[in-house]
Amino acid sequence: MCRHCPAGDSKLVQIVDAALLDVARRAGEWLVCRPGCTQCCTGAFAINALDAARLRDGLGELKHIDLQRANRIQLRARAYLQRVAPQFPGDSNSGILSETDDAQERFLSFADDEVCPALDPQSGICEVYRYRPMTCRVFGPPVRNEDSGLGVCELCFHGASSDEIASCEMNPDPEHLEDELLAELARSGESGSTIVAYVLAE
C-alpha cells in the first residue's frame, strides 16, 4: 500500500488521541461525543496537506480490505463535488482552497449543509475514522483558537461553568509536531488546504 504520510504522523496521532482520552476522563458526562453522533460531520471545513495525506492512506488501506466500501465512499465524494464545485472558493480542479480574503470569506458559508462523504449514511459512523483529519479528532472538547478563544461543541458541556469548561481544555499538539510534518510535506511539494471530498474523490 502506498504511504503518503511522513513517518512522524503516527506519533502526532498518538499524542492527539492521548490528549483526547485525558480530556474525556476530566470531562466525564459533559463530553457527549459517541459513535453515531454526526454533529461535526455536516459542513465543509479546511484540511491541510497532512490531513489529506492521512486520508489517502486510509482510503488506500480500505481498498485492500473492502473495495466495495471504498468505492461507495468515492462515489459519495464525487457526487458531493458535483454539487459544490461551481461555488468552490479555490481551484475546483485541484481542490486547493484560495487564500485570498474574499475566498476565505466565501468559505465561511460554503457547503454548510453537505454531509462528509466519509460518513456512512446508514450507521452514522466515519468509514475512515482511524485516518480522520485533526479537526475531527479535536471536535467536542474545549480547544483554544487564536481568533475566537476557547471553542467547544454546542452539544457538549451543558450545565458546566466557564471555569469547569476551561479546566477541561485540550492541548492537542503541545510540541507543534504538526507544523514540522507540514514543513516536511511542503519540501516535497505537498502544500495548500483542501476539503475532505476532494481527497476521497481522487
Do residues 55 and 197 touch, judged by C-beta distance below 8 A?
no
What does the pLDDT read at residue 2?
52
The dihedral of CA 181, 185, 188, 191: what is its sign? negative
Do residues 170 and 138 touch, judged by C-beta distance below 8 A?
yes
Do residues 195 and 47 touch, judged by C-beta distance below 8 A?
yes
Kindly give the confidence (pLDDT) of every residue in the chain, 202 residues in length, as a single tens digit, with 9 standing for 90 and above: 457 889 899 999 999 999 999 999 999 999 998 888 888 999 999 999 999 999 999 999 999 999 999 999 999 999 999 999 999 999 999 999 999 999 999 999 999 999 999 999 999 999 999 999 999 999 989 998 777 678 889 999 999 999 999 999 999 999 999 999 999 999 999 999 999 999 999 8
The dihedral of CA 133, 134, 135, 139: what is its sign? positive
Q: What secondary structure does DSSP assign to 87-155, as a single string? A: G-SB-TTT-PBP-SHHHHHHHTTTTTTPBPTTB-TTT--BTTGGG--HHHHHSSS-EEETTTEEE--TT
160 phi, psi to nearest 5 deg:
-85, 145
Cell for 46?
479546511
What does the pLDDT read at residue 145?
78
Q: What is the pTM of this model?
A: 0.92
3-state helix, strand, coil in the chain (%, to 5): 50, 5, 45
What does the pLDDT read at residue 1?
42
